[in-house]
């Protein structure tokens, strides 16, 4: 897979709408998930990456949450990550610390109390090496320094009712307007806990076409790929519906991936998977 951190970090905020997750890989407090990332990034890059997951760099609102973040960062170090400091979401602006979600600090655990009001640097990290005792302290750091980081993600609901994101038949859909190869588009969807969209009915096809039209994209990767002479959905669901254009799918050997051509035309065509198009993810609730 060629879609790496750098590709995700520079997606325009207008190119994607991130879908919050339903599951939590590291630590959960209520409907908030704290997820540590081992990739090295600047403060700004780390924040952008967290946004692609539907969250922000982590806030820490009380001692318990500080214990949680202390533990998950130390665990990564214990497992072999050569790091000390991890970015969290504090930033010093207008003479005060605020979290990336815009809220002020209601709890603090600075290594030096003077850093609360007169920090040497404006971006906040936590010292994961101190997590062995669940009491890692906070350290203002140079914002362009590269370090691993902790994202905080609000977990999504589990039904279409009340959803603000496009939702159909128990699945959320996200159009990524950033043009990627089929493989990289699938990796993006996988990072959102989903896959490139499968389509199982005319109603679902019409729904996907509506999302495509609203996003103002002309070509859209979906989850169909040819393997051993037959098309399959990348999410392993049943191949029980098709809507090919005339003369499609063609037999050109490199044309193994499916796209929808034109939201008004709504027909499927197979093309070289290395072409770069917008794409649509389907995320089960």
When pLDDT is averaged across residues 1-22 and rounded to a whole number, the result is 40
Cis peptide, bond prior to residue 21, ω within 30 of zero: no
Sequence-ordered strand ranges (E) for 62-207: 85-93, 96-99, 123-127, 138-141, 147-154, 167-168, 171-180, 195-196
**Which three-class secondary structure state does DSSP give residue 55?**
strand
Q: 51 to each of 54, 101, 141, 236, 239, how far by Cα in Å?
A: 5, 11, 21, 28, 33
226 DSSP β-pair partners: 231
For residue 246, pLDDT over 80 is answered with: yes
Domains annotated on the chain, with CATH = 20-154 (3.10.100.10), 167-284 (3.10.100.10)
Per-residue model confidence (pLDDT) at position 22: 53
Q: Which residue has the tokens 């590291």?
A: 26
Q: Quick one: CA dihedral 77, 82, 88, 91, positive or negative?
A: positive
Question: Are 111 and 127 in contact, with CB atoms under 8 Å apart?
Answer: yes
Cα distance between the two ends of the chain = 25
Closest CA to 250 of 275, 267, 224, 269: 269
Enumerate the β-bridge partners of residue 41.
147
Given the DSSP bridges, would you call strands 147-154 and 55-57 parallel, antiparallel or unpaired? antiparallel
Confidence of residue 279 (pLDDT cuts 50, 70, 90): very high
- pLDDT tier at 1, thresholds 50, 70, 90: very low
| pLDDT above 60 (res 19) | no
**DSSP type of residue 149:** E
The pLDDT value recorded for residue 2 is: 37
Distance CA 12, CA 250 (A): 34
Range among 31-35, 141-145, 249-253 with highest mean pLDDT value: 141-145
Q: Select from 202, 226, 201, 204 the least CA-distant residue to 280.
A: 204
Please say if the pLDDT value at position 16 is more than 60. no
Q: How many helices (H) and strands (E) does the chain have?
A: 5, 16
With a threshold of 0.75, does the pTM exceed it? no
Q: Give the Cα separation of 95 and 122 in Å (integer).
A: 10
Three-state DSSP state, 271? strand
Average pLDDT on 193-210 reads: 94
C-beta of residue 276 within 8 angstroms of C-beta of residue 181? yes
The span from the CA of 212 to the CA of 244, in Å, is 17
The number of residues making up the chain comes to 285
């Amino acid at each position: 897979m060629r879609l790496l951190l750098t590709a995700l970090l520079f997606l325009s905020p207008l190119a994607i709408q991130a879908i919050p997750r339903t599951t939590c890989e590291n630590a959960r407090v209520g409907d908030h998930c704290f997820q540590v990332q081992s990739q090295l990034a600047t403060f700004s890059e780390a924040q952008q990456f967290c946004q692609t997951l539907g969250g922000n760099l982590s806030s820490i609102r009380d001692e318990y949450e500080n214990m949680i973040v202390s533990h998950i960062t130390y665990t990564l170090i214990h497992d072999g990550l050569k790091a000390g400091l991890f970015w969290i979401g504090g930033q010093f602006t207008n003479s005060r610390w605020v979290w990336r979600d815009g809220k002020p600090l209601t709890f603090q655990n600075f290594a030096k109390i003077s850093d609360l009001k007169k920090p040497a640097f404006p971006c906040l990290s936590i010292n994961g090496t101190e997590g062995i005792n669940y009491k890692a302290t906070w350290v203002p750091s140079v914002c362009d320094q590269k370090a691993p980081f902790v994202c905080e993600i609000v977990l999504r609901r589990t039904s279409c009712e009340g959803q603000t994101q496009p939702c159909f038949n128990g699945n959320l859909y996200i159009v990524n307007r950033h043009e990627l190869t089929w493989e990289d588009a699938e990796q993006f969807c996988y990072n959102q806990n989903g896959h490139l969209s499968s389509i199982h009915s005319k109603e679902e096809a019409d729904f996907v076409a509506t999302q495509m039209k609203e996003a103002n994209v002309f070509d859209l990767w979906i989850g169909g790929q040819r393997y051993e002479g037959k098309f399959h959905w990348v999410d392993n669901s049943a191949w029980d519906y098709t809507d090919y254009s005339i003369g499609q799918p063609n037999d050109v050997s490199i044309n193994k991936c499916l796209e929808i051509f034109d939201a008004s035309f709504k027909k499927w065509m197979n093309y070289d998977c290395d072409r770069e198009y917008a794409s649509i993810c389907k995320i089960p609730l």
